[in-house]
């Protein structure tokens, strides 16, 4: 029987997010800080074998869900092999994937055959010019095509993650709802957070979850969906006519008391909170192969986790020094 992993505030941890790479083929405006950004050297990135060892230890401590992230995870070689290996770890009930969608048209079949049935696609605009602008020149049609191919392969649910930014894409909220309804997918609207290129983050850019729901309600009748154990932090609603939307509110209504996530970065750091720079370096301990030492470091990492984040303080945006591509989202 696995051990139950808890922090000093009594929160249980069942959900591990593994960043397999800090590399990404996009240069999103709110993620990559500047043109001088450099990726980590190869020897600083954990191998698949090292990540699998860590994931197995987390499973021994009660983790039963793993999400694979990046950077962009599909740019790492042999990612399908890794996904299947994670799926085969005893105690892991579900493995999911977050992607920018640019390579879905190539990898959807392999992902599904590896046993991955649920994916999240980051998509911040349905307008070609805006999408190209925010991603650094990528083609929206490729992403939509990838989503359609993933649907045909039988991957379901497909969740589209949309960061809502006032003055940039807040006029597309209804468009995204129509996209969800017409394609029988889930669109999750996320409040804009001060991570990555924090110089471009301002409180005035935040569109709160309440505002988002109010906008949607002007066109759609919403039926609240009760949360299940593996659902995550979103407040979900069925749309009349099909599809579903969710709202994730890390700023206006944080969910720290219910947090069950812990993160392993590509360079071997355990990060117990996305919205804090507190982390513990475990790369060399993982490379030594000592299961008990890894367990002790995991427990230690939860001791540095605060009861809640402090994003209500505007000055906190200066604290987040690591880009989203290095954190793992």
The answer to the question of whether 261 is labelled as a binding residue is yes
Q: Which DSSP state fits 26?
A: -
159 annotated ligand-binding residue: yes
Q: Judge whether 241 is annotated as a binding position.
A: no
Radius of gyration of the chain (CA): 19
Q: Is 68 annotated as a binding residue?
A: no
* Selection from 98, 101, 97 nearest residue 116 by Cα: 97
CB distance 250 to 3 below 8 Å: no
Does 67 appear as a known binding residue? Answer: yes
**Mapping DSSP to helix (H, G, I), strand (E, B) and coil, where does residue 232 land?**
coil
Q: Is residue 17 part of an annotated ligand binding site?
A: yes
* Residue whose entry in the numeric block shows the structure tokens 């099909």: 242
Are 273 and 305 a contacting pair, CB within 8 Å? yes
∠ CA 84-292-83, rounded to 5°: 10
Name every residue whose Cβ is closer than 8 Å to that of residue 263 and which is 6 or more positions away in sequence: 16, 17, 18, 19, 270, 271, 272, 274, 327, 328
Q: DSSP letters of 64-133?
A: -EEEEESS-GGGSTTHHHHHHHHHTSTT--EEEEEE-STTHHHHHHHHHHTT---EEEE---SSHHHHHH
How far apart CA 162 and CA 105 sit, in angstroms, is 20
44 annotated to a ligand binding site: no
* Separation CA 20–CA 40 (nearest Å): 12
230 is in an annotated binding site: no
Token reading at 76: 């790492």
Annotated ligand binding at 273? The verdict is yes
Annotated binding residue 316: no
DSSP-derived secondary structure for 137-171: S--HHHHHHHHHHHHHHT---EEEEEEEBTTTTGG
Which residues are 67's β-sheet partners? Answer: 17, 96
177 is in an annotated binding site: no
How many other C-beta atoms lie within 10 A of the C-beta of residue 12?
12
Residue 8 assigned as binding residue:
no
Is 315 annotated as belonging to a binding site? Answer: no
DSSP assigned state of 242: S
- Binding-site residues for S-adenosyl-L-methionine, in ranges, read 30, 71, 122, 193
List, as residue ranges, the binding site for GTP. 17, 67, 98, 159, 261-263
Residues placed in the known binding site: 17, 24, 28, 30-31, 67, 71, 98, 122, 159, 193, 256, 259, 261-263, 273
Residues annotated within a binding site for [4Fe-4S] cluster:
24, 28, 31, 256, 259, 273
């Amino acid at each position: 029987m696995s051990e139950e992993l808890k922090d000093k505030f009594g929160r249980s941890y069942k959900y591990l997010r593994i960043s397999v790479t800090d590399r990404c083929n996009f240069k999103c405006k709110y993620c990559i800080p500047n043109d001088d950004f450099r990726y980590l050297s190869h020897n600083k990135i954990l191998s698949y074998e090292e990540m699998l060892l860590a994931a197995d230890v987390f499973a021994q401590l009660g983790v039963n869900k793993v999400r694979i992230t990046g950077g962009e995870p599909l740019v790492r070689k042999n990612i399908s092999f890794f996904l299947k290996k994670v799926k085969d770890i005893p105690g892991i009930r579900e493995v999911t994937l977050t992607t920018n969608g640019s390579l879905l048209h190539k990898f959807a079949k392999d992902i599904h055959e590896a046993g991955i049935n649920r994916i999240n696609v980051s998509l911040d605009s349905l307008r070609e010019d805006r999408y190209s602008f925010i991603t650094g020149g990528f083609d929206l049609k490729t992403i939509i095509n990838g989503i359609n191919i993933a649907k045909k392969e039988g991957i379901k649910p497909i969740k589209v993650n949309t960061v809502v930014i006032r003055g940039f894409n807040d006029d597309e909220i209804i468009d995204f709802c129509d996209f969800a309804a017409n394609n029988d997918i889930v669109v999750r609207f996320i409040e804009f957070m001060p991570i990555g290129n924090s110089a471009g983050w301002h409180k005035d850019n935040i569109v709160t979850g309440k505002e988002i729901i109010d906008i949607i309600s002007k066109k759609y009748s919403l039926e609240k969906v009760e949360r299940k154990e593996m659902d995550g932090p979103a407040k979900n609603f069925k749309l009349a006519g099909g599809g579903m939307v969710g709202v994730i509110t890390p700023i206006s209504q944080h969910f720290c008391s219910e947090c069950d996530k812990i993160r392993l970065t590509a360079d071997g750091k355990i990060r117990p909170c996305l919205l804090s720079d507190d982390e513990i370096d475990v790369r060399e301990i993982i490379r030594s192969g000592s299961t008990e030492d890894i367990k002790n470091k995991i427990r230690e990492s939860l001791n540095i986790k605060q009861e809640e984040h402090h994003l209500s303080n505007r000055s906190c945006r200066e604290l987040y020094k690591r880009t989203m591509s290095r954190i793992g989202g």
